[in-house]
Amino acid sequence: MSVTYIDAIHQALLELLEEDPAVFLMGEDIGGSFGGAFKATKGLEERFPGRVINTPISEDAIMGAGIGAALGGMKPILEMQFADFGTLAQNQMGNNAAAHYYRTGIPVNVTLRMPCGGTPGGGPFHSQSLEALFAHYPGLHVLTPATVADAYSMLKQAVAIPDPVVFMEHKFLYRWLKADTWLDPDPLPIGRARIARPGRHATVVAFSAMLPEVLKAAELLAPQGYDIEVVDLRSIKPLDTDTLLASVARTGRLLVVSEDFPYGGVAAEVVARVTAQGLHLLDAPPLRLSSRDCPIPYHPDLWRAHRPGADAIAAAAKHLISY
Protein backbone atom coordinates (compact mmCIF):
# COMPACT_ATOMS: atom_id res chain seq x y z
CA MET A 1 0.00 0.00 0.00
CA SER A 2 1.38 3.41 -0.96
CA VAL A 3 1.45 6.48 1.26
CA THR A 4 1.16 10.10 0.19
CA TYR A 5 3.05 13.28 1.04
CA ILE A 6 0.17 14.41 3.30
CA ASP A 7 0.12 10.97 4.97
CA ALA A 8 3.79 11.44 5.87
CA ILE A 9 3.12 14.86 7.40
CA HIS A 10 0.18 13.49 9.40
CA GLN A 11 2.29 10.61 10.69
CA ALA A 12 5.12 12.95 11.71
CA LEU A 13 2.67 15.18 13.61
CA LEU A 14 1.15 12.17 15.35
CA GLU A 15 4.55 10.86 16.45
CA LEU A 16 5.72 14.29 17.60
CA LEU A 17 2.64 14.64 19.80
CA GLU A 18 3.17 11.12 21.17
CA GLU A 19 6.86 11.56 21.88
CA ASP A 20 7.01 15.01 23.45
CA PRO A 21 4.41 16.55 25.79
CA ALA A 22 5.80 20.01 24.98
CA VAL A 23 4.57 19.71 21.37
CA PHE A 24 1.13 21.07 20.50
CA LEU A 25 -0.60 22.25 17.32
CA MET A 26 -2.35 25.53 16.55
CA GLY A 27 -4.09 26.74 13.42
CA GLU A 28 -7.30 27.65 11.67
CA ASP A 29 -9.88 24.81 11.73
CA ILE A 30 -7.24 22.16 12.45
CA GLY A 31 -9.23 20.44 15.20
CA GLY A 32 -12.28 18.22 15.24
CA SER A 33 -13.49 16.21 12.30
CA PHE A 34 -12.45 18.90 9.81
CA GLY A 35 -8.73 18.47 10.47
CA GLY A 36 -7.51 21.55 8.62
CA ALA A 37 -7.94 22.77 5.06
CA PHE A 38 -5.83 19.86 3.74
CA LYS A 39 -6.69 17.29 6.46
CA ALA A 40 -3.14 17.03 7.80
CA THR A 41 -4.41 17.07 11.39
CA LYS A 42 -7.59 15.04 10.92
CA GLY A 43 -8.30 12.89 13.99
CA LEU A 44 -5.46 14.28 16.09
CA GLU A 45 -7.61 16.36 18.45
CA GLU A 46 -9.49 13.24 19.53
CA ARG A 47 -6.23 11.45 20.32
CA PHE A 48 -4.59 14.44 22.02
CA PRO A 49 -7.28 16.54 23.74
CA GLY A 50 -6.20 20.09 24.49
CA ARG A 51 -3.13 19.89 22.26
CA VAL A 52 -4.74 20.58 18.86
CA ILE A 53 -6.06 24.11 19.12
CA ASN A 54 -8.33 25.98 16.71
CA THR A 55 -7.48 29.66 16.35
CA PRO A 56 -9.16 32.77 15.00
CA ILE A 57 -8.44 33.69 11.38
CA SER A 58 -5.42 35.82 12.25
CA GLU A 59 -2.00 34.63 11.13
CA ASP A 60 -0.37 37.44 13.10
CA ALA A 61 -2.08 36.26 16.30
CA ILE A 62 -1.22 32.60 15.61
CA MET A 63 2.45 33.46 15.21
CA GLY A 64 2.51 35.75 18.22
CA ALA A 65 0.89 33.12 20.44
CA GLY A 66 3.34 30.53 19.14
CA ILE A 67 6.32 32.72 20.01
CA GLY A 68 4.97 33.25 23.51
CA ALA A 69 4.42 29.53 24.01
CA ALA A 70 7.93 28.74 22.77
CA LEU A 71 9.43 31.24 25.19
CA GLY A 72 7.52 29.41 27.91
CA GLY A 73 9.24 26.14 27.02
CA MET A 74 6.66 24.64 24.65
CA LYS A 75 7.24 23.46 21.05
CA PRO A 76 4.32 24.79 19.04
CA ILE A 77 3.69 23.63 15.48
CA LEU A 78 1.62 26.30 13.73
CA GLU A 79 -0.38 25.75 10.56
CA MET A 80 -0.80 28.72 8.26
CA GLN A 81 -3.74 27.72 6.07
CA PHE A 82 -1.96 29.10 2.98
CA ALA A 83 1.60 30.40 2.74
CA ASP A 84 0.22 33.41 0.84
CA PHE A 85 -1.47 34.56 4.05
CA GLY A 86 1.55 33.68 6.14
CA THR A 87 2.79 37.07 5.01
CA LEU A 88 0.36 38.54 7.54
CA ALA A 89 2.58 37.02 10.24
CA GLN A 90 5.77 38.34 8.68
CA ASN A 91 6.39 40.99 11.32
CA GLN A 92 6.18 38.38 14.07
CA MET A 93 8.34 35.97 12.08
CA GLY A 94 11.10 38.33 11.04
CA ASN A 95 11.21 40.96 13.75
CA ASN A 96 10.32 38.82 16.75
CA ALA A 97 10.92 35.08 16.26
CA ALA A 98 13.94 35.29 13.95
CA ALA A 99 15.75 38.00 15.92
CA HIS A 100 14.91 36.91 19.47
CA TYR A 101 17.89 34.64 20.11
CA TYR A 102 20.27 37.31 18.79
CA ARG A 103 18.78 39.89 21.14
CA THR A 104 18.33 37.79 24.27
CA GLY A 105 20.12 34.44 23.97
CA ILE A 106 16.77 32.69 24.41
CA PRO A 107 15.76 30.42 21.49
CA VAL A 108 12.28 30.35 19.94
CA ASN A 109 11.40 26.74 19.11
CA VAL A 110 8.43 27.23 16.81
CA THR A 111 7.65 25.40 13.55
CA LEU A 112 5.43 27.00 10.91
CA ARG A 113 3.77 24.64 8.47
CA MET A 114 3.15 26.58 5.27
CA PRO A 115 1.04 24.99 2.47
CA CYS A 116 2.59 26.64 -0.57
CA GLY A 117 2.75 26.56 -4.34
CA GLY A 118 0.21 26.29 -7.11
CA THR A 119 -2.57 23.91 -8.02
CA PRO A 120 -4.91 24.12 -11.03
CA GLY A 121 -7.55 26.74 -10.30
CA GLY A 122 -5.80 28.10 -7.20
CA GLY A 123 -5.33 31.57 -8.64
CA PRO A 124 -3.13 34.42 -7.45
CA PHE A 125 -4.04 34.38 -3.74
CA HIS A 126 -3.60 30.68 -2.93
CA SER A 127 -0.74 29.55 -5.17
CA GLN A 128 2.40 31.54 -4.45
CA SER A 129 5.84 30.14 -3.67
CA LEU A 130 7.27 32.58 -1.15
CA GLU A 131 10.28 30.67 0.16
CA ALA A 132 12.73 33.43 -0.74
CA LEU A 133 10.64 35.99 1.14
CA PHE A 134 10.92 34.08 4.41
CA ALA A 135 14.53 33.02 3.81
CA HIS A 136 15.54 36.69 3.64
CA TYR A 137 15.41 36.94 7.45
CA PRO A 138 18.48 35.90 9.47
CA GLY A 139 17.45 33.41 12.12
CA LEU A 140 14.78 31.54 10.15
CA HIS A 141 15.32 28.06 8.72
CA VAL A 142 13.34 27.43 5.53
CA LEU A 143 12.77 23.82 4.48
CA THR A 144 11.28 22.62 1.17
CA PRO A 145 10.74 18.83 1.17
CA ALA A 146 10.13 17.30 -2.25
CA THR A 147 9.68 13.62 -1.37
CA VAL A 148 7.37 11.63 0.88
CA ALA A 149 10.29 10.52 3.05
CA ASP A 150 11.56 14.08 3.45
CA ALA A 151 8.08 15.38 4.32
CA TYR A 152 8.15 12.95 7.27
CA SER A 153 11.77 13.10 8.42
CA MET A 154 12.34 16.82 7.87
CA LEU A 155 9.23 17.78 9.85
CA LYS A 156 10.46 15.70 12.78
CA GLN A 157 13.91 17.24 12.45
CA ALA A 158 12.41 20.74 12.24
CA VAL A 159 10.79 20.47 15.66
CA ALA A 160 14.13 19.33 17.13
CA ILE A 161 15.76 22.58 15.97
CA PRO A 162 15.58 25.15 18.79
CA ASP A 163 15.16 28.02 16.32
CA PRO A 164 12.10 29.05 14.27
CA VAL A 165 11.57 26.90 11.18
CA VAL A 166 9.38 27.63 8.16
CA PHE A 167 8.29 24.27 6.73
CA MET A 168 7.06 24.73 3.17
CA GLU A 169 4.65 21.97 2.07
CA HIS A 170 3.68 22.06 -1.59
CA LYS A 171 -0.09 21.62 -1.98
CA PHE A 172 0.21 19.92 -5.36
CA LEU A 173 2.32 17.18 -3.78
CA TYR A 174 -0.09 16.47 -0.91
CA ARG A 175 -2.02 13.67 -2.61
CA TRP A 176 -0.29 13.39 -5.98
CA LEU A 177 3.13 12.32 -4.67
CA LYS A 178 3.22 8.73 -3.39
CA ALA A 179 5.79 6.26 -2.12
CA ASP A 180 5.89 2.80 -0.59
CA THR A 181 6.77 4.24 2.83
CA TRP A 182 7.50 7.51 4.57
CA LEU A 183 10.50 5.94 6.31
CA ASP A 184 14.02 6.58 5.02
CA PRO A 185 16.57 4.23 6.63
CA ASP A 186 19.25 6.92 6.40
CA PRO A 187 17.62 10.38 6.26
CA LEU A 188 19.83 13.32 5.39
CA PRO A 189 20.28 16.08 7.96
CA ILE A 190 18.74 19.52 7.57
CA GLY A 191 20.87 21.70 5.31
CA ARG A 192 22.12 18.88 3.08
CA ALA A 193 21.11 18.72 -0.58
CA ARG A 194 20.58 15.38 -2.33
CA ILE A 195 21.71 14.11 -5.70
CA ALA A 196 18.35 12.88 -6.95
CA ARG A 197 19.80 11.69 -10.27
CA PRO A 198 23.49 11.48 -11.18
CA GLY A 199 24.60 12.80 -14.55
CA ARG A 200 27.46 14.38 -16.46
CA HIS A 201 26.23 16.92 -19.04
CA ALA A 202 24.52 19.54 -16.85
CA THR A 203 23.47 20.16 -13.25
CA VAL A 204 19.78 21.00 -12.86
CA VAL A 205 18.84 22.23 -9.39
CA ALA A 206 15.28 22.10 -8.06
CA PHE A 207 13.27 21.98 -4.86
CA SER A 208 9.70 21.32 -3.76
CA ALA A 209 7.26 20.49 -6.59
CA MET A 210 9.77 21.37 -9.29
CA LEU A 211 11.80 18.27 -8.46
CA PRO A 212 9.33 15.84 -10.12
CA GLU A 213 9.19 18.10 -13.18
CA VAL A 214 12.98 18.19 -13.44
CA LEU A 215 13.20 14.41 -13.08
CA LYS A 216 10.61 14.05 -15.88
CA ALA A 217 12.68 16.40 -18.03
CA ALA A 218 15.79 14.32 -17.40
CA GLU A 219 13.92 11.21 -18.53
CA LEU A 220 12.76 13.01 -21.68
CA LEU A 221 16.36 13.98 -22.49
CA ALA A 222 18.00 10.64 -21.75
CA PRO A 223 16.96 8.92 -25.05
CA GLN A 224 18.43 11.92 -26.89
CA GLY A 225 21.84 11.32 -25.32
CA TYR A 226 21.69 14.01 -22.64
CA ASP A 227 22.74 12.90 -19.16
CA ILE A 228 21.33 15.32 -16.56
CA GLU A 229 22.39 15.48 -12.92
CA VAL A 230 19.50 16.56 -10.68
CA VAL A 231 20.09 18.21 -7.30
CA ASP A 232 17.23 18.44 -4.80
CA LEU A 233 18.01 21.38 -2.49
CA ARG A 234 15.64 20.11 0.26
CA SER A 235 16.55 23.13 2.37
CA ILE A 236 16.97 26.65 1.01
CA LYS A 237 18.14 28.09 4.31
CA PRO A 238 20.61 26.73 5.18
CA LEU A 239 21.68 26.20 1.57
CA ASP A 240 24.12 23.41 0.74
CA THR A 241 26.61 25.27 -1.44
CA ASP A 242 29.21 22.49 -1.19
CA THR A 243 26.97 19.93 -2.92
CA LEU A 244 26.09 22.47 -5.62
CA LEU A 245 29.74 23.25 -6.34
CA ALA A 246 30.69 19.58 -6.39
CA SER A 247 27.94 18.85 -8.91
CA VAL A 248 28.89 21.76 -11.17
CA ALA A 249 32.51 20.62 -10.99
CA ARG A 250 31.36 17.32 -12.54
CA THR A 251 29.10 18.80 -15.23
CA GLY A 252 30.38 22.33 -15.99
CA ARG A 253 26.85 23.67 -16.44
CA LEU A 254 24.08 24.94 -14.15
CA LEU A 255 20.33 25.36 -14.59
CA VAL A 256 18.20 26.27 -11.56
CA VAL A 257 14.44 25.65 -11.72
CA SER A 258 11.96 27.15 -9.28
CA GLU A 259 8.24 27.82 -9.09
CA ASP A 260 8.64 31.18 -7.40
CA PHE A 261 8.72 34.49 -9.25
CA PRO A 262 12.06 35.25 -10.95
CA TYR A 263 12.99 38.54 -9.29
CA GLY A 264 15.09 37.95 -6.18
CA GLY A 265 14.13 34.28 -5.96
CA VAL A 266 15.89 31.17 -4.71
CA ALA A 267 17.19 30.49 -8.22
CA ALA A 268 18.93 33.86 -8.24
CA GLU A 269 20.59 33.07 -4.90
CA VAL A 270 21.83 29.69 -6.13
CA VAL A 271 23.24 31.20 -9.33
CA ALA A 272 24.91 34.00 -7.36
CA ARG A 273 26.59 31.59 -4.95
CA VAL A 274 27.82 29.18 -7.59
CA THR A 275 29.07 32.03 -9.77
CA ALA A 276 30.86 33.74 -6.88
CA GLN A 277 32.54 30.60 -5.57
CA GLY A 278 32.76 28.41 -8.66
CA LEU A 279 32.98 30.57 -11.77
CA HIS A 280 36.05 28.61 -12.81
CA LEU A 281 33.93 25.44 -12.83
CA LEU A 282 31.42 26.71 -15.39
CA ASP A 283 31.72 26.05 -19.12
CA ALA A 284 28.57 28.06 -19.92
CA PRO A 285 26.65 30.94 -18.35
CA PRO A 286 24.27 29.65 -15.65
CA LEU A 287 20.54 29.75 -16.39
CA ARG A 288 17.44 30.30 -14.27
CA LEU A 289 13.97 29.04 -15.11
CA SER A 290 11.17 30.37 -12.91
CA SER A 291 7.47 31.05 -13.13
CA ARG A 292 6.31 34.03 -15.15
CA ASP A 293 6.73 37.44 -13.55
CA CYS A 294 3.00 38.05 -13.22
CA PRO A 295 0.19 37.01 -10.85
CA ILE A 296 -0.73 33.33 -11.02
CA PRO A 297 -3.73 32.66 -13.29
CA TYR A 298 -6.81 30.66 -12.31
CA HIS A 299 -7.39 28.68 -15.50
CA PRO A 300 -5.62 25.29 -15.33
CA ASP A 301 -4.13 25.67 -18.82
CA LEU A 302 -2.81 29.15 -18.04
CA TRP A 303 -1.50 27.91 -14.69
CA ARG A 304 0.50 25.19 -16.46
CA ALA A 305 1.88 27.77 -18.89
CA HIS A 306 2.78 30.06 -16.00
CA ARG A 307 5.06 27.63 -14.16
CA PRO A 308 8.00 25.59 -15.52
CA GLY A 309 7.03 22.15 -16.76
CA ALA A 310 9.06 19.18 -17.92
CA ASP A 311 9.07 20.23 -21.60
CA ALA A 312 10.27 23.78 -20.84
CA ILE A 313 12.92 22.45 -18.47
CA ALA A 314 14.16 19.97 -21.07
CA ALA A 315 14.38 22.75 -23.69
CA ALA A 316 16.34 24.99 -21.30
CA ALA A 317 18.74 22.15 -20.44
CA LYS A 318 19.37 21.39 -24.13
CA HIS A 319 20.03 25.09 -24.79
CA LEU A 320 22.50 25.16 -21.91
CA ILE A 321 24.33 22.03 -23.05
CA SER A 322 24.60 23.32 -26.63
CA TYR A 323 26.36 26.51 -25.55
Closest CA to 115 of 28, 238, 47, 11: 28
What does the alpha-carbon distance between residue 94 and residue 287 come to, in Å, rounded to a whole number? 30
**What whole-number distance in Å separates Cα of residue 99 and Cα of residue 131?**
18
Which among 10, 100, 126, 306 is annotated as catalytic? 126
What is the identity of the amino acid at 34?
Answer: F
Catalytic residue at 141? no
How many C-beta atoms lie closer than 10 Å to residue 273's C-beta? 14
Angle between helices 266-278 and 241-251 (to 10 degrees): 70
The whole-angstrom separation of Cα 3 and Cα 17 is 20
CA distance 77 to 13: 9
Catalytic sites, residue numbers: 126
